């Protein structure tokens, strides 16, 4: 399955942003496309999207991997699972909880189970539940995020898991993607960089905010859902909200965390927008095809640079001398 991709990269699933246009463009360009099944609002829409994506991409494109929220608060879990089982995508990404309830049915249908995890304990639980892949949510990932250092997290997971590992957080170019591979990951996982593409369903102001923001403009809070989430500070200010009021409190997941606010609650994701630390690497709004071409060129250049950097120490080791100079 991984060999079908031009680059070892997933265009991450994003609420309200990832539609079939983005997924099709990503898969055709040679990276894994994904979308949250929750983005399909109308009756039968998930079925329609999966048919549309399959027909537009064909067997030679990179795979589409739908994202399924497995938390008990998702009223559509069983319904969406049934649709996915009929279509049999190569893999499914599970989020917000253990995949234990859905993994047996998915794996019996020949569908790999990739699971979002933010801690080593969560990774161990997912492995015990039969996960084929782990998406490591690290500090700086957009939307619902983790707090672990990516270097330490990847190496800790690799000590106990030899399945597919994807790194989420802080990647906006091919250099970062190669670094993820060097750490021991099979895939990179980019969301923020794909918000600012022509095919994304994000509001144009949202795309502008991503382009105009820097790392320091990302605000961490769990006020929206009880889960730690990275937001665009500009989107809070645009709603007349003080970022200082949106801090870190008890970690209690809720789908209605903003309801009941005086004056009416802004809708999370619709009015308050998320992004990750990698906004510093976003400066324009290309098509997905143009972006993937750029990432591929950067990835190749990073590989050439890395080869040059490692050549001298390797040659020195063979000759028995200690490299000097910049080393």
Which CATH number is 2-202 given? Answer: 3.20.20.70
2: confidence class by pLDDT, cuts 50, 70, 90: confident
- Over residues 214-234, the mean pLDDT reads 88
- Say whether 143 sits in a helix, a strand or coil: strand
Is residue 208 pLDDT above 90, yes or no?
yes
Show the CA angle centred on residue 126, arms to residues 142 and 91, nearest 5°: 70
Rounded Cα gap, residues 109 and 133, in angstroms: 16
Rounded Cα gap, residues 10 and 119, in angstroms: 20
Instruction: State the pLDDT at residue 223.
Output: 79
Rounded Cα gap, residues 227 and 223, in angstroms: 8
Instruction: State the pLDDT at residue 87.
Output: 96
Instruction: State the pLDDT at residue 325.
Output: 41
Average pLDDT, the chain: 89
Give the number of other Cβ atoms within 10 Å of residue 184's Cβ: 13
Per-residue HEC secondary structure of 54-86 comes to HHHHCCCCCCECCEEECCCCCCCHHHHHHHHHH
- Cβ neighbours of residue 302 closer than 8 Å, sequence gap 6 or more: 174, 175, 177, 178, 179
Is residue 250 pLDDT above 70, yes or no?
no
| CB distance 10 to 190 below 8 Å | yes
Instruction: State the pLDDT at residue 222.
Output: 82
248: confidence class by pLDDT, cuts 50, 70, 90: low
Show the CA angle centred on residue 170, arms to residues 191 and 64, nearest 5°: 30
Q: Residue 49: what are its φ and ψ, rounded to 5°?
A: -60, -45
Rounded Cα gap, residues 267 and 258, in angstroms: 8
Per-residue pLDDT tens for 129-181? 999 999 999 999 998 888 999 999 999 999 999 999 999 999 999 999 999 99
Instruction: State the pLDDT at residue 239.
Output: 85
Per-residue pLDDT tens for 75-104? 899 999 999 999 999 999 999 889 999 999
Instruction: State the pLDDT at residue 59.
Output: 87
318: confidence class by pLDDT, cuts 50, 70, 90: low
Per-domain residue ranges of the chain: 2-202, 204-277
Per-residue pLDDT tens for 255-312? 444 444 444 555 555 788 999 999 999 999 999 999 999 999 999 999 999 888 776 6
Instruction: State the pLDDT at residue 314.
Output: 54
Q: pTM here?
A: 0.89
Is residue 57 pLDDT above 60, yes or no?
yes
């Amino acid at each position: 399955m991984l060999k079908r991709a031009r680059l070892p990269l997933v265009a991450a699933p994003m609420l309200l942003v990832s539609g079939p246009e983005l997924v099709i463009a990503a898969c055709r360009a040679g990276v894994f496309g994904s979308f949250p099944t929750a983005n399909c609002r109308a009756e039968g829409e998930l079925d329609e999207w999966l048919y549309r994506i399959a027909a537009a991409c064909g067997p030679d494109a990179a795979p589409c991997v739908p994202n399924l929220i497995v938390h008990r608060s998702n009223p559509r879990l069983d319904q969406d699972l049934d649709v996915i089982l009929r279509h049999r995508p190569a893999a499914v990404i599970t989020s917000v909880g253990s995949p234990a309830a859905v993994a047996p049915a998915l794996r019996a249908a020949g569908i790999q189970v990739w699971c979002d995890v933010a801690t080593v304990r969560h990774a161990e639980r997912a492995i015990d539940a039969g996960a084929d892949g782990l998406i490591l949510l690290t500090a700086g990932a957009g939307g619902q995020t983790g707090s672990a250092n990516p270097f330490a997290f990847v190496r800790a997971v690799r000590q106990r898991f030899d399945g597919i590992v994807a790194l989420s957080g802080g990647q906006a170019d091919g250099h970062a993607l190669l670094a993820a591979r060097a750490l021991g990951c099979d895939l990179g996982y980019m969301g923020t960089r794909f918000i600012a593409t022509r095919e994304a369903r994000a509001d144009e102001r949202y795309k502008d905010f991503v382009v105009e923001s820097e790392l320091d403009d990302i605000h961490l809070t769990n006020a929206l859902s009880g889960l730690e989430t990275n937001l665009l500070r500009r989107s809070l200010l645009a709603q007349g909200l003080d970022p200082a009021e949106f801090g870190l409190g008890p970690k209690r997941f809720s789908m209605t965390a903003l309801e009941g606010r005086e004056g009416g609650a802004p809708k999370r994701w619709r009015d308050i927008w998320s992004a990750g630390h990698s906004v510093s690497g976003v400066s324009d709004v290309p098509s997905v095809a143009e972006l993937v071409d750029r990432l591929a060129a950067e990835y190749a250049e990073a590989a050439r640079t890395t080869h040059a950097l490692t050549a001298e120490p390797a040659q020195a080791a063979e000759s028995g001398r200690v490299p000097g100079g910049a080393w």
